[in-house]
Structure 1
Amino acid sequence: MSLVIALDGPSGSGKSTVGRHLARTHRLGYLDTGAMYRAAAWYCHHRGIDLMDADAVVAAVIELPLEMDLDPDSTRVVVGGTDVTDAIRTTEISTHVSKVATNLEVRAELKARQRAIIAREGTADGWSDGRGIVAEGRDITTVIAPDADVRILLVARTEARLARRALELHGTTDASAIEATRDQIVRRDADDSTVSEFRAAADGVVTLDSSHLSLEATLAAAERIVQEQSA
């Protein structure tokens, strides 16, 4: 029986960590939809397209030659044969990705691809051999997979999210690292909230607040939700 787990939440809330853990535990595919928007931004930038030219960006994304590795232990992202897994996580791409992610026609194109990937993982043709998938992003629980077996909104206080991302990117949580990270977290969430709702749980979506939880406690809480909702 196929299992679909949908995870939403703001930047730094722990979606990737929780999503990969659940995918490993249940032997599911793992889809980071945010990486798709980052790959689209990288592709446009790589081709010299002005990200403020909405029509040109849409045209590029429609032909975007994107491959997503659904293995939670790999999660490679390949564009036109080029491995961009690390390149799409640079500060430059992080700074500009919202210009692509808030383009409604781009969202429509990538949403269609996301739904197709989720549907394929419910069949023997999928990476998971039909076991299912964990998909995480901004509007998975409400728009992409509103009928998912499990729907979780991961949240955490802003300062907790800033500290986590600063540690991830800079290896420290000192004041300068926190401030260097603030734009990526606060501004991007503000930008993305204009096109998707990921700060309040929709009906049937369980909220998991990890502000004061250790990593182990957060993963355990997520697993309890999966067990309860998929029973």
Structure 2
Amino acid sequence: MKPLRVALDGPAGAGKSTVAKQAAKALGLTYVDTGAMYRAITWKALQEKINPTDEAALTELSNRVQISFKLTPAGQDVFLDGVDITEAIRTPEVTGNVSAVSAVAGVREAMVKLQQDIAAQTGVLMDGRDIGTVVLPDADVKIWLTASVEERAQRRYNELVAKGQTLDFEQLKADIERRDRFDSGREHSPMKMAEDAVVLDTTGLSIQQVIEKILEICSSADAQKL
């Protein structure tokens, strides 16, 4: 039996990474945070003073660098050319530019190839915006994870405040709404729910409740493969 491949998609702040790490561990799957890949490219572009709209430079950058992950008790560390950038890619500056960078066709092509190469080697739980529609259209399980804008903003706010960052809640909420519009309207691999995805609205649910629902969906799909 082929190892399970799970596509977990949804808008910014829906809590995908938080629940995906734990769900993947429970399922014995490799967790792949595709959003971290785009954040890594964005971080490197900012370091090299590359304009987030310079498609040629961003495409060249995406094909030049090496992105890797390392699982830890706390989750997953992200490395770019051997440098740990786990915390660096979560800054407001990276967040404010990642949608523009990830919309570049050359960047997406490079990252999608990397994501598909990983999925070809092992069972995965992969989260992002276009996993079920572009990266793994034949995934065994497709889940669309969502929540209200208010709740998504509150979760992101709590997460960043806990890390010592100072920010305005209303501005954060507006940024999330802007990202939704940008990600859904981009020309290349827009954020879109797969027609055969299971919708999981996490508004009002605890992290553990969401994980349990994901495991239920995956268990059902796994049983159908037997």
TM-score of the two chains, using structure 2 as the length reference: 0.89
Secondary structure of 2:200's aligned partner: strand
Letter in 1 for 2:52: L
Per-residue deviation, 1:158: 0.8
Q: Tell me if 1:213 matches 2:205.
A: yes
For 1:95, give the aligned amino acid.
G
* Counterpart among 142, 152, 166 of residue 143 in structure 2: 152
For normalisation by structure 1, the TM-score amounts to 0.87
Q: Which amino acid aligns with 2:199?
A: T
The answer (yes or no) to whether the contact 1:29–1:71 under 8 Å persists in 2 is no
Q: Distance in 1 between matches of 2:152 and 2:90?
A: 17
Runs of 4+ in 1 over 4 A off after TM superposition: 70-73
* 1:125 matched residue in structure 2: none
Match of 2:217 in 1: 225
Unpaired stretches in structure 2, ≥5 consecutive residues: none
Please show how residues 104-143 of structure 1 align to structure 2 within 5 Å.
104-121=105-122, 132-143=123-134
Cα gap change, 1:150 to 1:192, in 2 (>3 Å): same
Query: SS at 1:202's partner residue?
Result: coil
Task: Kindly report which structure 2 residues correspond to 1:56-95, keeping only aligned pairs within 5 A, or say none.
Answer: 56-69=57-70, 73-95=74-96
Q: AA paired with 2:144?
A: L
Q: List runs of 5+ in structure 1 lacking aligned partners.
A: 122-131
Q: Please, what is the CA RMSD of the aligned residues?
A: 1.9
Match of 2:170 in 1: 179
Counterpart of 1:25? Answer: 26
1:165 aligned partner: 156
Q: What SS does the aligned partner of 1:193 have?
A: helix
Q: 1 CA distance for matches of 2:65 and 2:183? A: 21
How far, CA to CA, are the matches of 2:209 and 2:102 in structure 1? 32
Partner residue, 2:37: 36
In 2, Cα distance between the equivalents of 1:214 and 1:18? 10
- CA distance in 2 between counterparts of 1:70 and 1:194 reads 33
Q: Which deviates more, 6-15 or 181-190?
A: 181-190
Distance between the aligned counterparts of 1:191 and 1:73, measured in 2? Answer: 31
Tell me: CA distance 1:15–1:40, structure 2 relative to 1, closer, same or farther (3 Å): same
SS in 2 for 1:77: strand
Q: Distance in 1 between matches of 2:5 and 2:73?
A: 15
**Residue 212 of structure 1, CA deviation:** 2.5
State how far apart, in whole Å, the 2-side matches of 1:150 and 1:52 are: 34
Q: CA deviation at 1:214?
A: 2.4
Aligned length: 217
Counterpart-to-counterpart distance in 1, 2:73 and 2:19? 11
Q: Distance in 2 between matches of 1:41 and 1:216?
A: 31
1:156-191 per-residue CA deviation (whole Å, 9 max, x = no partner) reads 11111111111111249xxx7422422441212221
CA distance in 1, matches of 2:174, 2:85: 23
1:3 and 2:17 equivalent? no
| Separation of aligned partners in 2, 1:161 and 1:198 | 16
Match 1:203 to one of 190, 195, 205: 195
User: Could you give the per-residue CA deviations for residues 13-42 of structure 1, whole angstroms, max 9, x where no partner exists?
Assistant: 111122112111012111000000000011
Distance 2:191 2:110 in 1: 20
